Structure 1
Amino acid sequence: MALTTAQLIAQLYIGYYNRAPEPEGLDYWVGRVEAGVSLSDIADSFAASPEAIAAYPWLAMSNPSAGSVGAFLEAVYQNLFNRSIDADGLAFYSNELLTGLRSPGEIIASIQANANTNTNNTDGQILANKVTVGLAWYEGAKAQSGFEFNDAAKASANTILDGVGATQASVDAALATIEDLFGAPASLDAALADLFDAREALSDALADLELDTNLDGTIDVEAGDAEVGDVTSYFNAATAAVGAELNNPGFASAGAATQQGLINDGLKAAQDVITKETAELRTAEAGVSSALLTAINAVESRAAAFEVANDAAIAADVTEDGEAARFEAVNDGALAVTGGNTLEFTPAGGSAVTLATLTNGVWVANTTLPTGLVGFDAYLAALQAETTTATAATQAETALDNAVLRVLQLESGNANLTTTDIAPDAITDAQVDGRTVVTIDLAATGGTVAAPNAQGVLDARQDLVDAQEALADLQDAIEVWEAAGDLNDQISDLVEAVTAAEEAITNSPANGGLGLNLISENDAFTSADDVYLFTQDSGTTFTVANFGQIGDDVIYVGSAYTLVELAATDTLSTKAYGSATVLEVFIQQVGANTVLSFETAAFDGSDTDGSFNGTVITLTGVNADDVSFANGYFSIA
């Protein structure tokens, strides 16, 4: 794949001067290439520069010695590859230079070309890494307002390549130094790495969230579906809930200090109510006899027992109805309980037959049953459960009636009262949120006698329970609000980090950015210098227009991918290509377009199941031969 002009010129700076290119110089030489000057001619121009002659005086000599030429070649190899030139190479290139067969510029261009066509070897990797760092220094310097290539800047351009070798760690260390030097992302590499990390951190934070944004006890945002707006909605709902508990609609718009003050006041007020209700309960209980207090306690416990028993009976009845419907459907007939103790089944078009009888609360199946019945045991078990729970509920209701009667007898002093003297509305029950709730009104006057003192105790107890629940509800709302606030702050910080990373790319150099334009998938590249940050999304296919046709555009995929070139006739979905252990991106010319296929996993290119598992990007109107891939970037050479 072709290298960009800037990369090729940067190699000359490294080979001749062992330094990063300064902005003014690199921009000038790139312009010369675009004007038609060859790379070897530019290399010769480098050889004639004062900086090169100062480093290699023989360049200005008409009859250089073999030693001076050898020293030059040794320096070039050290500059480019961090190693000495091999004996064969030294002999070959020395002869070329000493005999005048080729110029110094042609020799360096040849050495570069050999390394560039063998990028998998150590020489090629070291040179590519030095170019990455050199151009990063160039970008950082260019972004500085009023930058001057003075002695200090030149020293920095020289030393920044010290220690850069074949490893990514050496590149990362140099980029960090550049970022510290210029006080901003030193290059598009660093800026995109920051953006990638920021986006990934935000994505990871959202990935596992499950949110009850309506605060109704149900998860309405499942893991993997959460977006930033969902977190905001969750926090807003939690804030509104605290305001509702405080009965203060202005809570949401108040400042943090004011909100905390309102919370403290609300908690104190709720506790004060509990203290007040506790005192009133003690007064109410002190106003009745111990015997009556014991009877009141019995009413409460019997009411709770009835609620449980009635809920069980209702559930068993629902189960019995379901089993009956299944039994009747499968066996094509109708069930009926006759006389309260006989279970009959009437098949369609037939006569009723007895299946079981109820004896002492137990349903007993007949010893002889019609043949072919399906599901009878399951239905009989459901019927037995319904009968047992209904009996228990009736008994619990009777016990509650007797407990209420005892209270009425004690408070009235009339032991001859019976359950018929209980007011009809003294004991009521209703279904609330799917469960039985009993209401006791011992002061009801619809019966022979009432028990207002006993009811006063019950009311005082309920008032205390209500006050305690109000405090608990407020505390729960505050706990949810605080957790939602922490989460909202976390996500907000991550969003700000993404924004800052984007602005480091899109802001003008005068404002500390790189002056580039970020685009998203399916967006057409613009007349500006555009950047697309690739993110893997298996199964995604999209098309990008105008890539490299107007501005200096790049697609950044990072250092994880190795490029594999495919022929136009290759079929990636049905034949294995590349390595099963290396993450690869495949480039292929398809008609007038270039297609980039990114593996999700290293073995995807070796999978022959008929479909490619990865992300596919089509660059419309782009010739694959013009596409350059280096240091994680796709660009047009």
Structure 2
Amino acid sequence: MALTELLEAYLATVEAKDDFLTDAAAIEAIAAILAEDAVDAEDPTNEEIEAAIADYLTDARGDLNGFTAVGTTTTVLAGDSDRVVAAKIEQITEDLEEAVADAQEDVNDVRGLNGRIDTLLNRKSQLEASAEAATKLDVALNAEIAKFEVATADLTVGDLEIVYGTAGERGTFAVRDATTTAEVYLEVKDGKVVVGETGKGLAGIDALLAAGQALYSGLVSADTALTNFETALLRVVQLEAESEVDGYDGSIDDLVAADYYTQDTSGPGGVWGVDGDGKAEDPTIDLEAGPLTAGSISQTLIDARLELSAFQVVVEAYLEAKSLSEQLEALEDDIDDALDALEDAGFFVTVVDDSVDGTIEDDVFLYVEDTEATGLEITNFSDEGSDVLYVGDAFAQLTRLEDEADLSAERLGSNDVREIFVQQDGNNTILFIEAEAAAGGDRNLDEITTITLTGVNADDLVLENGFISIA
């Protein structure tokens, strides 16, 4: 196979890995890790994404190892092989499904109880989702408040505060001056957030209004979700008690929801709370209080279903993390194989990802598009051998710059084709390689890769069939 074909095959493997990492960074679990660890979570480096994948697998395997449940005696151990882990996952799943089936038999004997338990668990999920959403919307509104305070600094707008109102009574929701509370920037009228008199006509008020309306709606939704959850909870207790407790003839009006679950009002405005990762706290259900006692058939089924659901979540995360890790490993193997093919064909290939040196051989230096490396340099280029730098077929020619030209200050080159600008810098030559055609014309150095060839005369360089060499 010709050198060009081998190089293009190698570059294709690098591009495949880059594409994979870009897609991986958008996965929720990976994005959450990058938000904590990456220097710029909006534009993480490949190395940061790879580290996030490794961390995800470590965390997911740790959660799998640490999973225990009443419905099974099997546990995954840290030293278990992949084959053993797969077998244990299957066994634990079977155990938990059997526990659900056993509990289901008792509940099936009470007409309508299955449906009420289904509704309760759905309402539980809705409560958790609404709490997470309200917390995010609260963060968003506080961010808009910070921007608004900056935009109106010359108007001496003071520090603003959010008035959340109370559960079920969100009509007092407002954004106002924390000191001069009569200065209201947002308020609620007829169930809708509007601009208050103080906020009318101010810069940034529209964005503040949108964020305020979103949070207000989120708080109302969270309040409703809690009410629906509590109602569903009491309907389960009432029906089971009516069927299973001798002499019971009560209604849900005789029951207090707080007796049957752990409450958490630590979220914004007293809505359901979330943990440090933004996940809703678990509203642990405990039906075994009056009129029900230990051995509640509803409680047994709820516990079994929640255990199975929790295990499925842990397994799903583990399998996703494992798959990502395996895909990454396979892509890295492809890259290694492509390099091996070049070496087997007798070519001395060096990827330009740092400061690299030429040898006495005929070196082939390889420019990788979209490289994240900086300070790229090739020393001893063609000092002894006949070296080449492969840049691919996207460039038709080298564009010589005057020694005093400044790409950061001047609009240079064409906006229609990608170019490689060549400039003499003392005894060295600097190559400015465009990632997009308009980079030189737009003075966009973020889209230009710089490679320095030490001891090379710019006028001696030629570009032919994607290879830069000394004529």
Q: Could you say which TM-score interval applies, normalised by the shorter chain? A: 0.5 to 0.7
Amino acid at match of 2:16: A
- The answer to whether the 8 A contact 1:206-1:224 is kept is no
Alignment correspondent of 2:141: none
- Does residue 533 of the first structure (1) align with residue 359 of the second (2)? no
Alignment correspondent of 2:179: 329
Match of 1:601 among 412, 436, 444: 436
Give deviations 1:120-170, integer Å, cap 9, x for gaps.
Answer: xxxxxxxxxxxxxxxxxxxxxxxxxxxxxxxxxxxxxxxxxxxxxxxxxxx
Alignment correspondent of 1:493: 330
State the TM-score, normalized to the length of structure 1: 0.46
> What is the correspondence of 1:135-214 to structure 2 with a 5 Å cutoff?
179=1, 186-187=2-3, 189-209=4-24, 210-213=26-29
**Cα separation, 2, equivalents of 1:196 and 1:595:** 23
Amino acid at match of 1:490: Q
Give deviations 1:306-358, integer Å, cap 9, x for gaps.
Answer: x97xx99x974289699567266345699xxxxxxxxxxxxxxxxxxxxxxxx
Match of 1:264 among 90, 114, 119: 90
**Cα separation, 2, equivalents of 1:204 and 1:327:** 48
**Cα separation, 2, equivalents of 1:624 and 1:217:** 45
Alignment correspondent of 1:466: 303
Give deviations 1:170-220, integer Å, cap 9, x for gaps.
Answer: xxxxxxxxx2xxxxxx33x22211111110111111112224558989976
Match of 2:383 among 542, 545, 549: 549
Alignment correspondent of 1:317: 166
Amino acid at match of 1:455: T
Give deviations 1:522-575, integer Å, cap 9, x for gaps.
Answer: 313143544331134499664433322244432111122122352644626366
- Does residue 635 of the first structure (1) align with residue 469 of the second (2)? yes
State the TM-score, normalized to the length of structure 2: 0.60
- Does residue 518 of the first structure (1) align with residue 350 of the second (2)? yes
Greater fraction helix: 1
Amino acid at match of 2:346: L
**Residue-pair matches, total:** 372
Change (3 A) 1:497 1:407: closer
Give deviations 1:344-388, integer Å, cap 9, x for gaps.
Answer: xxxxxxxxxxxxxxxxxx9xxxxxxxxx97489x99xx9xx99xx
Larger Rg: 1
Secondary structure in 1 aligned to 2:380? coil
Unaligned runs of 5+ in 1: 1-178, 180-185, 335-361, 363-371, 445-450
Compute the RMSD of aligned alpha carbons: 5.3
By how many angstroms is 1:596 displaced?
Answer: 1.6
> What is the correspondence of 1:127-526 to structure 2 with a 5 Å cutoff?
179=1, 186-187=2-3, 189-209=4-24, 210-213=26-29, 225=44, 227-245=49-67, 248-250=75-77, 253-256=80-83, 258-281=84-107, 316-317=165-166, 323=173, 326=176, 329-331=179-181, 374=198, 413=247, 429-431=262-264, 433-434=273-274, 437=283, 443=289, 451=291, 454-456=292-294, 459-505=296-342, 507=343, 512-526=344-358
- The answer to whether the 8 A contact 1:429-1:437 is kept is yes
Give deviations 1:462-505, integer Å, cap 9, x for gaps.
Answer: 11121122223333333443344433333222111111112233
Amino acid at match of 2:166: D
- The answer to whether the 8 A contact 1:330-1:374 is kept is no
Unaligned runs of 5+ in 2: 69-73, 135-162, 185-189, 191-195, 201-208, 265-271, 275-280
**Identical amino acids, percent of aligned pairs:** 20
**Cα separation, 1, equivalents of 2:92 and 2:378:** 57
Amino acid at match of 2:323: D
Match of 1:617 among 445, 451, 455: 451
Secondary structure in 2 aligned to 1:549? coil
- The answer to whether the 8 A contact 2:400-2:422 is kept is yes
- The answer to whether the 8 A contact 1:331-1:374 is kept is no
Moved more, 236-245 or 200-209: 236-245
Change (3 A) 1:616 1:315: same
By how many angstroms is 1:407 displaced?
Answer: 5.9
Amino acid at match of 1:593: N
